[in-house]
């Protein structure tokens, strides 16, 4: 039988077992589950770095693809 078909007792992916991180989102200001940490620019040269929640991240990424100039 092929090696990929054999079941594994342990997973090497430790991300599966982490509890979701709850923090204040820099975009909406609510305490929610954090997707990642980003740096956003508000105006010219005014940068804000911090965690962003899942909902804001998805809308931010969709906006980047929608308004991207080619």
Query: Between 6 and 43, where is the model more confident?
Result: 43
Query: Between 39 and 15, where is the model more confident?
Result: 39
Residue range 55-68: mean pLDDT, rounded = 74
Beta partners for residue 50, in sequence order: 38
Half-sphere exposure of 9 (CA within 13 A, CB side): 0
Residue range 31-47: mean pLDDT, rounded = 87
Which residue blocks in the chain are alpha helix, DSSP H? 54-66
SS3 8: coil
**Cβ atoms of residues 53 and 22 within 8 Å:** no
Residue range 33-60: mean pLDDT, rounded = 87
**Can you give the pTM of this predicted structure?**
0.60
Q: Where are the domains of the chain?
A: 20-65
Query: 37-52 burial, b for 16+ CB within 10 Å, e for fewer?
Result: ebeeeeeeeeeeeebb
Q: What does the pLDDT read at residue 3?
A: 56
């Amino acid at each position: 039988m092929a090696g990929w078909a054999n079941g594994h007792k342990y997973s090497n992916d430790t991300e599966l077992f982490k509890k979701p991180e709850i923090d204040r989102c820099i975009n909406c200001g609510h305490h929610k589950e954090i997707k990642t940490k980003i740096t956003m620019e508000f105006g010219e040269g005014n940068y804000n770095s911090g965690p962003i929640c899942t909902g804001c991240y998805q809308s931010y990424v969709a906006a980047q693809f929608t308004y991207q100039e080619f």
